Structures are given as C-alpha cells and as structure tokens.
Chain A
C-alpha cells in the first residue's frame, strides 16, 4: 500500500487515533500531487460572476483559457463575464513589457462591450516583468470613465486563499461608491455565494419572502451598481467563509456592518441561517415569517429525505472540497440521509476549521488537508466508501474505484443550496449511489461471490490475472 508523503504526515488525522493537531494552512510540499490551485485561480473564481464587468487576464494565454466559462455561475442579465479576454503575452512583450498591449486591449474591450467596470488580473509573469498595471488601470479609468481595477493575483503569491483576499481587495474598491438611499433597515448582503446553478436566486427568494431586503449578492449574479451600494446593508451573511470573510471584515471595519457566518447547504444549516438572520433584527413578525418559510418548505423536503434515507442508510461517504465550511454542512446533510462521513478533507481549511470538523465527525473519520489522488484512493478503499463528494479532479478517481460521485464544486449543474437543494442533493446522492453500474465493478463484483446469499452474480467475476498488453 502506498505511504503518505513523509512531510504530509501531520496533514492527515484520524479522529480517535491521532494525538496531535492537524497541520494545515501551509504551502504544498514541492513534488506532491496537490489538488490545489493558485492565487490567480482564487481571484478569478470569486470575481468571475460579476456579469456586467469586464474581466481581462493580463498574461500568457493559458490563464485565460483555463478559466474560460468554467463556473456554472448564472447571470440573469449580461453574459460578458463568460467570454475569455486575454492580452496573450508573447516573448517580445515579456522582454519589452506588456503595458502597451494592456492599454490597447483595455481600451478596445471597453469600447466594444461598454462594461460597468473592468477587472484586470495580474498573472505570474506580469509580477516579474514589472508592468505597472496599476498605472495603466488608472489611466484607462480616467479616459474611459469607468472603474478599472487591478487584481493582484499573481499565481505564485499563494494558494487560492491568497487569491480570494486579492479579489476581496479589488471588489472592495467598488463598495461604498454608490447611493444607499432607500435601502431598508432590515437588509443584508449575501457574501460568498456564486449563484452556481441559480443558488443565489433561491436564497434571495427566502429573504424576500421574509421581508428582508437583499442589497447585493457577492458575487453571484453580481452587478457593479449593486456592489457599489452594498455598504448600505445592515448585516453581512458570509457563506463561503474562505473566500469572503476578508471582505466582510473590511466592511465591518469601515462601515460598521456586522457579519454572520452561515451556510445554505442542508436543511439544518439553511434553517439556522434564516433564524440567525432574523434574530439579528429582533423583530417578532420576521420570526413568524421565517417559521413559515422553513416549515412550508420542510413539508416538501421531509418525504424526499425519508425516501432517500431508506435506501442510503449505513452507506459511507468521503468528501474532499475546497473550503471547510462546506465540509461541515455536508457532514450534517449526509447524516440526514443516514450516511456516515468516513473521510473529510479540504484544500484550504485552517486550524479552527479542522477543530470544528473533528468535533462534528464520528470516531475513526480520517481528516486530511491538501490531499492527493493516491491518498484519497487509499482511504476510500480502506474505508470501503460508497460515495465520493468532490470536484472535477476527483470525479474520475471515484469512478475508477467504482464509487458513486456527487459534484459539489463549481462545475455542478444542479442547485444544491437551501431546502430545494437538499431535495436535489438527496436525489443526486441516491441516484448515484444506487446506480446499477457499481455492482458490475470488478472490485465489488468480486466481493459478492456467485451463489452467496442475496448476491447477484456480476459479469466481472473473472479470475484475477494480468491482462496481456495489446
């Protein structure tokens, strides 16, 4: 069996066995097959859903190509955020500087698409060749009359987390520049929801039904003008804690807007989020309306959960997700389905996150930080997992192992947030776990021998030997 990288031993933890705290929040070891991305990626995914802004990647073509329309962040209006704009830096630009190209690209794009604002993403080599991106942005901003904002997202600066911070700093330049008149006292911003599969719309609807004004969602289905006046809201709800806490802190510091960390994954967390919001406003009538929203929807959810649970009870799940807050919610949601989480990991959790994760997981659960395919495969087999929850890089690994998969990353196409999302989640998990395909997987088919009680013979029960190379 494959060992864990020696330098990574402290980044893996088994509840009940390991005495030490999990080491996290550190750079990936050189030479490891990390599932993590870079600062640029972090910035790009956070700002990308602002759909009436221009997003120009200043660098060689790859950075723009790999982030072109890859997130399922839906826009109810403009679609220009889904196009791929790049300065496509060439060798001569690297030698002589890319500033003229950046200037021309920006002016050309602004004339073509007339965006409300522009973000310019700085990539690794821009940081090295010394382009004064800031100066170009200022100049174009002056000439074109829109905000042109540099995002300091050079990839080498760190993991996605560093990029989140750069994105927050960039978008913060818009906050506080709009007119806040007419905003209700009972109003919120939702931070850290990206409207994947329309989730922001769903969550917004809950609050609107309760009579709470949503001033802006950052950044799901985002609009520049909404962000400009977001400082007029009374409260910030922070969902994806990793990406947006920094922005919430800035708004708290400068505008005195308090923040609450919430999650809209799973019925417990969604209900808690609504009640906590209501309790902030100390208004009895709001509480009643929150109860209505919750109970009305729970009526639809419960029968679905019961049906799924009947089939899924006792099944084991592994999850490997970007941020820790999502992991907490998933552990709870899986429990609602009668499933046990036996492996939980994140790319970017911090100490506090892992403490909490350890608390909510059962004994024996393996907890990993910044993992790799071999480790994940090893634990999945050891724990005999039935379901894997992860992102694009994990999906084929799960399938190769003959394990059901649920995409809980930004490439998912099904809304998984809120009450309706829990129904979708239950259906998706059930459909995937109960799919007939898994019983034909040789590893599993071999386990249920032909003739053993209750076992269906699988066609893959051939004797195990090396298949000759064709």
Chain B
C-alpha cells in the first residue's frame, strides 16, 4: 500500500497524507465518558457522533454511547438552538443522565452557535431537571487535534462544576491525561499503595473496561462523580499529567478555586513514574511504602537484564504529544536511540521537550510536531531505524519497510484487542512495554535469521 512512498521529502503546505491526529470532538467525547452518569452530546451532523463512537469502540472494544443534535440543512442555516433544546429535553426525559457534556463540531462552530447562551436559555426556561447539569466545550475540528478537544472538555468540566467551600480536604486531584482506562486504574492503584486519597478526572476505568456481566448498562459504575468534581475545588493540590492534555484544566482549577498544581509528564518509564510518585508523596505528605520501592526495583532489574538487547537500537515513534514525550523518555532510559519523533498535534513545545530529552543520546534526531505518518515514513526511508512505535496506523509503514518490528501504543489501536487492559504508565506499564519491545525484536530475528544463528538461549 505504501510502495509509492519515496524518500524525497518535499515541502507540503496544503496536504495531509495519512494523518497522525484526528479532530477535537472525539477527545471531548472521550473525556466526557470519564464523568459518572454523563451523556456526551455532539452538537452537529449525526455523522460526527457516529464516527467518534465507532472509532472509540474500535479502540476500546466497548459500547460507546453519545447523543447528537442531528443537524439538517435547516439547522445549518437557522442555527442549532431548536435542535439543542429538543435534544436536551429528549436526553433528560429518556436517558436520564446526571450530566450532559455538549461539544461542538466544525459545523456548529462555523454557523456560530452560542453554546453558553443556549444552555442558559434552557436552564432559564426550566428545561434542565433539578440537580442535573449541562456543560459544554468548544471543539472546532479545524483547530488543534483530538488532544485539544480532550483538554478543553476536562478544563470546562472543572469550570462548570468544581467549587470551593473554603475548607481544604485531604484529597489530591489527579488529571491523568488522554490515557486508557488501564492507565487510570494503574495510577489509582499507585495512589492507593501510597495511601493518598485522590480524585481522578476524567476516569474512564469501569466505563470503558467493563466486565462481562450479561447486562448492558448505559451508565457504567465508573467515572468521576459530580460531587467529586465539585469537591476538587477543596483539594490540597492538583497533579496534572501531560502538558497537552492536562495543563489547561489544572490552570483553570487554580484560577477558579486556588488549588495549586504541579505539571508533570505522563508517568511513563522509570523517571516519569518516579516523578509522579514523588510529587504525589510530597503533596499528601506521606512516606513511600516498601511495596512501591520493590516494584521499582523489579523494573530496574528488568531493564538491566534487557539492556544488552536494547542498547543503541534506533527507534521511530509517533503518537499524541504527551504519550510520545513519555515513551521517548522511557526509550532513553533503556539505552535506545529515539531517531524520528513525531506528533500530529501542533505545538512547538513538543519539539523543545523531546529535543531536551534526547539531546545527549540523539542530538540529530528528527523531531516534528504537526507532522503526518507519510512524513514519518519518508524520514525513516532516509534514516534507518530498528523499531517503530505508534498507533495502529503505523502497521502499513512497518510492513513497507521490510516488517520493521512494531510496538503499538497510544490511540487508536484498532487491530489488536488486549491492549486496553494493560497500562503504559507506572513501573508495571514500563515492564509490560519493555517485554513487548523485546518480543518484537527477537521475534523478527527468530523468523528471519539463518538456521545456524537461530538460538535457543538468548
């Protein structure tokens, strides 16, 4: 399929080939699913909503429910107020959510629908049932990426719902970023090991990794409860993971409720997880239990066992900026050389951050934000790598480059099933991914080496 891709990189200003990002609304929808009893609502044509639901389902293998304003040509001319009013009334009367989280689409943005006004009007007219909430985020598809949409929805959830009573609680807020339910579960486990009381927003564990029960529930038991989000304004501090996905929300909470925050990278790898634990420990003033130290020791031990195979291997990786920053850090820790590092999301700070991480081991790395997978492929053609890491879309590149060892991470992964249960974050996440990386390198060698070099012991 990618046979036509050549190594000559030309300047492209008007064209995106094989994107490494998608549009804002899907991120907003994912964030909203991490609120307990929340119905994400897409204010636009009904295709957007269907696409986002399908795409999320392909990644999580879970039912994803969201409503749509089902814009018609008429709404596109006269505005979407009547669609919104009908939608809210239908949603509350039939699906009975605690919260409706509305996000816009390119269509409703371009026609200039004023969401805050629409919500206020519905509240004033008594159309929102007592005790229920409608929140919104502006997520024009022609700005940023899905990560931007996620970030804005988390920020606005706080803006709408968090409050300050004046009495500081003993809880720490964790903003996990645009990560999988398995990652959120793992961060909660670490916090529990430390004995720190936390509120995580959003929290899609027990929403998008539901057990098989034989019963379908529209609102699974997971998700951050409205009361918990409200109480985030009283927390000791906020631990925000990921510059792109969590910074704005942390700043909002500081502005609104005066909760101080620390912004760290996604807790991926040894150093990333150390920072997470250390920051959390300081915030809650607790000691780190032996169980965590032992876990760290096991990861370190694994790295030392594996390092001989990793050392000096060149890696190309792409994905969402916070993820890529974290994984780049992990790769450097295990002695690999991040050679091509790309994200589809715009943002020069991504390039600065990655450059800083790889400055010692890979000063001439190709680092680029707002790039696409076609570009990644062309760079790989010019700079041989030993391993490719990224989402499902990388598989075409891996195949075109002689079955390059390929490890999937991030969003979306649509051609594998088990990934959603295993974290990338934390010491355990690192262990799991190191195992995957080594398997990929060895499996390729085992398939391709001549018989005399086919080894039983490695």
Contact = CB atoms under 8 A, between A and B. Distances in A.
Interface stretch (B61-69, B244-252, B359-367): B61-69
Contacts, number: 253
A85 B214 contact: no
Interface residues of A, number: 86
Interface residues of B, number: 82
A324 interface: no
A128 B1 contact: no
B90 A156 contact: no
A104 B87 contact: no
A398 B91 CA distance: 23
Contacts of B21: 61, 65
Interface in B51-91: 51-55, 57-58, 61-73, 75-76, 83-84, 86-91
A41 B106 contact: no
A31 B142 contact: no
A34 to B, nearest CB: 6
Interface stretch (A226-234, A299-307, A438-446): A438-446
B46 interface: yes
Given A30-B90, A104-B14, A125 B61 contact: no
Nearest to A75: B1
B14 A100 contact: yes
B62 A396 contact: yes
B34 interface: no
Interface string A19-38: 00000000111111111111
B142 A65 contact: no
A109 interface: yes
B221 interface: yes
A242 interface: no
Interface string A111-150: 0110000000001110111000000000000000000000
Given A5-B94, A32-B90, A374-B95, A443 B213 contact: yes
A245 interface: no
A125 B216 CA distance: 36
A156 B73 contact: yes
A377 B65 CA distance: 13
Contacts of B1: 79, 82-83
A87 B16 contact: yes
B198 to A, nearest CB: 13
A373 B68 contact: no
Contacts of B19: 61, 64-65, 68, 84, 86, 88
Contacts of A35: 50
Contact of A441 (B25, B188, B212): B212
B47 A27 contact: no
A317 interface: no
A3 interface: yes
Given A2-B218, A87-B15, A400-B214, 8 more contacts: A30-B86, A33-B65, A39-B47, A85-B16, A88-B15, A104-B14, A124-B110, A392-B54
Sorted nearest first, the 5 A-B pairs with minimum C-beta distance are: A38-B47, A443-B214, A62-B23, A31-B90, A31-B87
Interface of A: 2-3, 5-7, 27-41, 59-69, 79-80, 82-91, 93-94, 100-105, 108-109, 112-113, 123-125, 127-129, 155-159, 373-374, 377, 392-393, 395-397, 399-402, 441-444, 446, 467, 469-470
